[in-house]
């Protein structure tokens, strides 16, 4: 018996190099977080973190409900991009912003947009599901036509700042005839 025969043999797990790379990309999804994916926003929503990570590992969108840990304001895509630009121009702190081919969703503190009355945007109902890619999938990259404009981190967008930025973006769009 040789020395190598006496050592325990590593079994094949069926994971390819591509699988390991994808897992590493998920693990480092939000640079600046010491290699850890910020998952408090998933926990706060009431969604299963393990289910979320499993779906992301399978290159699928995770289902995360709104209205439990944070609210979501949904607006059409062009108004949403202009709103994010207006927020940044105003120097506001911008939290997670998600987009797909139809709309933009902005995560805000729970209850901060209860009085939302802007035409063309709405607050999602409690339990309404968002389909979210991993935080590493940031525009222009997409997963199943979904992407983050601003990935989840440690802050949410202030509801009043969002209200004002959306109003400014809507007025700008009306003036240049894009609305």
pLDDT for residue 24: 53
pLDDT for residue 11: 46
pLDDT for residue 18: 56
Note whether residue 146 is domain-resident.
yes
What gap in Å lies between CA 36 and CA 1, rounded to an integer?
44
Note whether residue 9 is domain-resident.
no
What gap in Å lies between CA 147 and CA 135, rounded to an integer?
8
Note whether residue 89 is domain-resident.
yes
How would you list the strands of the sheet with 103-109, edge to edge? 121-123, 70-76, 103-109, 97-99, 147-150
Note whether residue 101 is domain-resident.
yes
Note whether residue 3 is domain-resident.
no
Give residue 106's domain range: 14-28+35-175
- Using DSSP, state whether 130 is helix, strand or coil: strand
pLDDT for residue 23: 56
What gap in Å lies between CA 59 and CA 135, rounded to an integer?
12
Note whether residue 80 is domain-resident.
yes
Provide the CA 61 distance to its chain's centre, in angstroms: 10
Half-sphere exposure of 88 (CA within 13 A, CB side): 10
Q: Are 157 and 87 in contact (CB under 8 A)?
A: yes
What gap in Å lies between CA 119 and CA 123, rounded to an integer?
11
Lookup result for tokens 């700008």: 172
Note whether residue 7 is domain-resident.
no
- Using DSSP, state whether 70 is helix, strand or coil: strand
- Using DSSP, state whether 175 is helix, strand or coil: helix
Q: Structurally, how many domains does the chain consist of?
A: 1
Note whether residue 4 is domain-resident.
no
* 64 beta partners: 130
Per-residue confidence in pLDDT tens, the chain, 179 aa: 555 455 444 444 445 555 555 555 555 443 434 445 678 899 999 999 999 999 999 999 999 999 999 999 999 999 999 999 999 999 999 999 999 999 999 999 999 999 999 999 999 999 999 999 999 999 999 999 999 999 998 899 999 999 999 999 999 888 887 75
């Amino acid at each position: 018996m040789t020395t190598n025969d006496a050592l325990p043999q590593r079994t094949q797990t069926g994971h390819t190099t591509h699988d390991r790379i994808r897992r590493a990309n998920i693990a480092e999804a939000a640079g600046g977080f010491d290699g850890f994916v910020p998952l408090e926003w998933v926990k706060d929503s009431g969604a299963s973190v393990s289910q979320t990570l499993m779906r992301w590992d399978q290159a699928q969108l995770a289902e995360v409900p709104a209205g439990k840990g944070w609210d979501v304001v949904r607006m059409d895509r062009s108004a949403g991009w202009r709103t994010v630009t207006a927020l940044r121009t105003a120097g506001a702190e911008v939290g997670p912003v998600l987009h797909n081919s139809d709309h933009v969703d902005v995560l805000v503190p729970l209850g901060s947009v209860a009085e939302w009355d802007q035409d063309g945007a709405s607050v999602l109902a409690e339990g309404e599901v968002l389909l979210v890619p991993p935080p590493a999938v940031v525009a222009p990259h997409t997963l199943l036509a979904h992407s983050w404009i601003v990935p989840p981190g440690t802050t949410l967008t202030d509801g009043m700042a969002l209200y004002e930025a959306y109003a400014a973006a809507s007025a700008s769009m009306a003036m240049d005839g894009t609305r």
